[in-house]
């Protein structure tokens, strides 16, 4: 098992123990200030159901993205994180 798999396995255990499912889950990301990357994040989430908030860093180099969406299971949360890895420069918090 590589470190990425271990990270997600650990996260899955924390999610299973820390939440009752389904739950409103909050994702946090930091991305370079780039509208294309912001659009890529927004496309990962259901635009009708997800609440997406953004905030630029003080120098305008980065954008903080907070997304709240109803998640049905810990695996769905992990799936979203895995999908987000394809966005260049993204940091998942």
**How many domains does the structure of the chain reveal?**
1
**In angstroms, rounded to a whole number, what is the distance separating the alpha carbons of residues 83 and 85?**
5
Write the CATH number for 57. 3.30.70.260
The whole domain housing 72 covers 3-92
In tens digits, what is the pLDDT along the chain, a chain of 93 residues? 678 889 999 999 999 999 999 999 999 999 999 999 999 999 999 778 899 999 999 999 999 999 999 999 999 999 999 999 999 999 998
Q: Residues 1, 63: contact at Cβ < 8 Å? A: no
Q: Residues 85, 5: contact at Cβ < 8 Å? A: no
């Amino acid at each position: 098992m590589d470190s990425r798999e271990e990270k997600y396995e650990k996260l899955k255990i924390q999610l299973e123990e820390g939440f009752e499912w389904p739950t409103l889950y909050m994702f946090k990301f930091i991305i370079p200030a780039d509208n294309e990357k912001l659009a890529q994040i927004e496309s990962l989430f259901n635009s009708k159901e997800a609440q997406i908030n953004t905030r630029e860093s003080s120098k305008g180099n980065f954008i903080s993205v907070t997304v709240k969406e109803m998640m049905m299971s810990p695996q769905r949360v992990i799936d979203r994180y895995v999908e987000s890895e394809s966005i260049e420069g993204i940091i998942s918090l």
